[in-house]
Structure 1
Amino acid sequence: MVLFSLVASHSNIDLETVARLSAGAAAVSAEVVSGNNAVAGLVTLATCNRYELYAQARSAEEVEDARQSIVAAVSAHSGLAEHQVAEALATQEGPAVPRHLFAVSTGLDSAVVGEREIAGQVRRALSTAQDAGVSTPALVRLFQAASKTAKEVGAQTALGRRGMSIVSVALELAADLQDVRSLAGKTAVLFGTGAYAGAAMAQLAQRGCTDIRVYSISGRAETFTASRGGTALSEETLPGALAEAHLLVGCSGSEQQLAAADLAGLRPGGSAQLTAIDLALSHDFAPDVADLPGVDLLTLETVRQAAPAEQQETLSEAAALVASAAESFEQAQNARSLDHAIVALRRHTMAVLDDEIAKIRQQHGCTAATAEVEFAMRRMVKQLLHVPTVRAKELAAAGDAESYLSALDALYGLKVEPAGLQAAAEEKLAMTHDGGESASA
């Protein structure tokens, strides 16, 4: 089976398109994997500035079919034409897949380089796919390796030591705009109750903001504040909170937008300066909010431009660790590509051995001498299989599985299909068998 990815992020496309692509992300995964197509598994990483799909095709020959299935599903749920989706999602295959994901998980590919939240988002993406039953062992290994790489980079380099994140940079900008060192004494209204809203609330509290009011169009504010603190808002209490707020933080990405007209009547002249921080891809605040007197609007693009750069030495160290981890992952993946061939060789050899031992038992019975001969023969066969097994792993890791398969055919007459074709054939056989059983039932 073959891994590939479809990637759209702040580094290669505008955030408006990323937001549209992300619509219905969960439905896309379930729909694509449950369908009878070339996609064996799919893990979706959707954050405030990226939409990435990591997929497993059933064979190398079916990668394009798998890609088309995903593009069609994303198109159906996003409302974008298929050609727009295809152009927006950059396709990655081979070593580029782990290399990119590992860079993402460490924060090297983030708008705020070295951000802390992304590692948790990568872990949650895998967990969500596993809960939905759309992951595969290969995808699990890929994402677990990404998380391990993030930990190693964090432990061995200074990347992310300052604890910078999109939220922290945004709040620092807000403090600068309001000409304050901390947010103590400020009132904040937080829109949203997801993981990102939780991170925003924690950052607000770290900066001294104790009056945090939470609004959720889905009605989850009560549950959210019960475990994190703050005050839950309703439709009735929201207007009063907006009138008193110094900070608005949007993390919901709901279809309902707060516009200038909604705020104008609530905040007459003389109201406290207001900073609206829109961290939602699909925008919680309309752009015209920035036209109101005494109101500043910060967006993801604003934050990205203001984010401080990491030291070049730190970036180089982190990039080297990512490259090494990606190479190790690729070698480990290749090493697995001949597992089925090793099994075939062992099965063939053991079958010959069992036949010979059966002949000895027929001639000499189950005597002590027969047992000693059997023990010696099995030990000899085990030793003879050692070198072919080691060579298989070496050739697989080097990406030369074809030489080993050709050798098995030439030396033993064993015709073993490449791993991808073998898996596809076994799956087809299993489906045929299941169908036959169902029909007979």
Structure 2
Amino acid sequence: MIGHTVVLLSLVASHSDIDLETVAKISADASQVASVVLASASPVAGAITLATCNRYEIYCEVPQSEDVAAARSEVISQIAASTGLSQDVISTALVSKTETEVIEHLFSVGAGLDSAVIGEREIAGQVRRALNEAQAAGTATGSLVRLFQAASRTAKDVGSRTSLGSRGLSVVSVALELATDLSRDPDWSTKNVVIFGTGAYAGATLSLLRERAAHHVSVFSASGRAEAFVAKRGGTALDESTLEAALEQADVIIGCSGSDHRLMAADIAALERGTRPLVAIDLALTHDFDPELGALEGVDLINLESVRMAAPEEQAQSLRQARSIVLDASEAFAAEQRERAADAAIVALRKHTQQVLETEVEKVRAQHGCTAAAEEVEFAMRRMMRQLLHVPTVRARELAAAGRAGDYIEALQTLYGLEVESPSAPSVKNDSRCPVTGSAADDAAPAPAAEARTPDLVQLSRAV
């Protein structure tokens, strides 16, 4: 089989296209879809899932364009099986993107340009975590790793080269601003706050509460992780026996867990709160709080839809600059992907010519021995081979840049009967050389260009 540049496919359900309730339904129990799809007979070679408070996206690598339809069908089938929704509902909700669309979309997402709060900070960390989790699960291929690492670098470029997000806006910060506006007393130092959850959003929430001088913060986790969470970040851990008392004294409750344990309106109505007002902030896509909570007297409910409507618009100039950075980075990454197909073809051609050359050199050595004449003939043959390979190498680069690497590869097979190996890197599954070390590893600078190339290409370039 002739090798081609791998095809990138993404299936996207986000707040930009559908309502958050549908996104939440698709996200439910779909975290293991990537592993299940890879274990099936589908053509998907690798997959990374990006699930946040307002999106569910799965990024796949497939061997060739002819496999895209089958890959999409398998992903939809597995999401339907895990969520209980019909395949028609899933298919309608998920927007498919391929090739350069995938690259530009992920880069935009990572830079916060596709968020409910434009320029938000949390999404870049979520992109890094999605990659880490896929690496740990063994579902990330080399192409997908490069894609997500490039998205993280682009997000950093947008942050450092534009004023986008310089105010530190995020879903959490906008929600807290709304809570401040709704509260009778804007002083957070006097408020009793209860956080539900111990994940990334809970951590970001606690940090922002500290910035607002909130001193009375309690944390509840249905899974029993509150003690470990507050040990690292501060606050008071709650359990089932102390939660009710904390809720009776709470001024603000914040849901960040997205667990199956939902706080119902009846639970709050049954508390002995008197006339004490309550602001409930529900940041969980699947709702930590009953939507009917907002109908109770003295209770104001803030949800993700409220945050999206209240999020301020960034300056047009900053947005244009950020989008330009994303577009340039997307085009550069796409060009690099195309060049990888040329690298594989050049490696195959040089391997072939190297084998022919060595055969002829051995004949010269056998006939003339290690004489000066034999060395001169060998030198001349190697110089001639370098000259003969120059034009085919240049043409490979030119055709790859034009997206026509497949034509070049087919010509090699027709002329020489060569089989060109796929340029995609192997999965990092069970690879001790690729440990998952957290965000520090994701933030590392890209490898030098020479090291990023196929090793055989570098070696053959020196040998021929």
TM-score normalised to the size of structure 2? 0.87
Query: Which residue identity lines up with residue 10 of structure 1 in the other structure?
Result: H
Alignment of 1:3-42 (within 5 A): 3-42=8-47
What is residue 299 of structure 2 aligned with on the other side? 295
Of 334, 337, 347, which aligns to 1:333?
337
Name the SS of the counterpart of 2:45 in structure 1. strand
Number of residue equivalences: 421
Of 143, 156, 162, which aligns to 1:157?
162
**Structure with bigger RCO (C-alpha 8 Å, 6+ apart):** 2
2:70 maps to 1:54: no
CA distance in 1, matches of 2:370, 2:418: 36
Query: What displacement does 1:190 show?
Result: 0.3
Query: What displacement does 1:406 show?
Result: 5.1
Flag structure 1 segments of 5+ consecutive residues without an equivalent.
Answer: 427-441
Runs of at least 4 residues off by over 3 Å? 179-182, 405-410, 415-420
CA distance in 1, matches of 2:136, 2:416: 40
CA distance in 1, matches of 2:63, 2:218: 48
Flag structure 2 segments of 5+ consecutive residues without an equivalent.
Answer: 1-5, 427-464
Query: Are residues 307 and 72 of structure 1, via their aligned partners in 2, closer, same or farther at CA, if it must alter by over 3 Å?
Result: same
Which sits farther off after the overlay, 392-401 or 179-188?
179-188
Provide Cα deviations, 1:35-57, integer angstroms capped at 9, x if missing partner.
Answer: 23211100000000000000011
- Contact kept, 8 Å, 1:29 with 1:42, in 2: the verdict is yes
What is residue 103 of structure 1 aligned with on the other side? 108
CA distance in 2, matches of 1:376, 1:188: 81
2:404 maps to 1:400: yes
CA distance in 2, matches of 1:181, 1:215: 24
Of 125, 139, 143, which aligns to 1:120?
125
Of 62, 65, 68, which aligns to 2:73?
68
CA distance in 2, matches of 1:301, 1:128: 28
Name the SS of the counterpart of 2:10 in structure 1. strand
CA distance in 1, matches of 2:335, 2:158: 20
Name the SS of the counterpart of 1:17 in structure 2. helix
Name the SS of the counterpart of 1:39 in structure 2. coil
- Contact kept, 8 Å, 2:348 with 2:420, in 1: the verdict is no
What is residue 416 of structure 2 aligned with on the other side? 414
Name the SS of the counterpart of 1:134 in structure 2. coil
2:147 maps to 1:142: yes
- Contact kept, 8 Å, 1:221 with 1:232, in 2: the verdict is yes
Query: What displacement does 1:201 show?
Result: 1.0
2:192 maps to 1:193: no
- Contact kept, 8 Å, 2:249 with 2:273, in 1: the verdict is no
Provide Cα deviations, 1:42-87, integer angstroms capped at 9, x if missing partner.
Answer: 0000000000000011222111111111111100111100111111
What is residue 171 of structure 1 aligned with on the other side? 176
Name the SS of the counterpart of 1:70 in structure 2. helix
Query: Are residues 214 and 57 of structure 1, via their aligned partners in 2, closer, same or farther at CA, if it must alter by over 3 Å?
Result: same
Name the SS of the counterpart of 1:26 in structure 2. coil
What is residue 216 of structure 1 aligned with on the other side? 221
Query: What displacement does 1:380 show?
Result: 3.3
CA distance in 1, matches of 2:100, 2:420: 19
CA distance in 1, matches of 2:413, 2:223: 62
CA distance in 1, matches of 2:349, 2:251: 71
- Contact kept, 8 Å, 1:335 with 1:394, in 2: the verdict is no
Name the SS of the counterpart of 1:337 in structure 2. helix
User: Percent identity over the alignment?
Assistant: 55
Of 271, 285, 288, which aligns to 2:289?
285
What is residue 349 of structure 1 aligned with on the other side? 353
2:248 maps to 1:243: yes
Query: Are residues 123 and 186 of structure 1, via their aligned partners in 2, closer, same or farther at CA, if it must alter by over 3 Å?
Result: same
Which sits farther off after the overlay, 255-264 or 185-194?
255-264
Query: What displacement does 1:417 show?
Result: 6.2
Query: Which residue identity lines up with residue 414 of structure 1 in the other structure?
Result: Y
CA distance in 2, matches of 1:418, 1:89: 34
Query: Are residues 155 and 248 of structure 1, via their aligned partners in 2, closer, same or farther at CA, if it must alter by over 3 Å?
Result: same
Query: What displacement does 1:323 show?
Result: 0.8
CA distance in 1, matches of 2:69, 2:289: 39
Query: Which residue identity lines up with residue 63 of structure 1 in the other structure?
Result: V
CA distance in 1, matches of 2:298, 2:37: 48
Please, what is the CA RMSD of the aligned residues?
1.9
Query: Are residues 238 and 11 of structure 1, via their aligned partners in 2, closer, same or farther at CA, if it must alter by over 3 Å?
Result: same
- Contact kept, 8 Å, 2:413 with 2:419, in 1: the verdict is no
Query: Which residue identity lines up with residue 362 of structure 1 in the other structure?
Result: A
Query: What displacement does 1:264 show?
Result: 1.3
- Contact kept, 8 Å, 2:37 with 2:44, in 1: the verdict is yes
Query: What displacement does 1:416 show?
Result: 4.7
What is residue 2 of structure 1 aligned with on the other side? 7
Query: Which residue identity lines up with residue 106 of structure 1 in the other structure?
Result: A
Query: What displacement does 1:365 show?
Result: 1.0
2:359 maps to 1:361: no
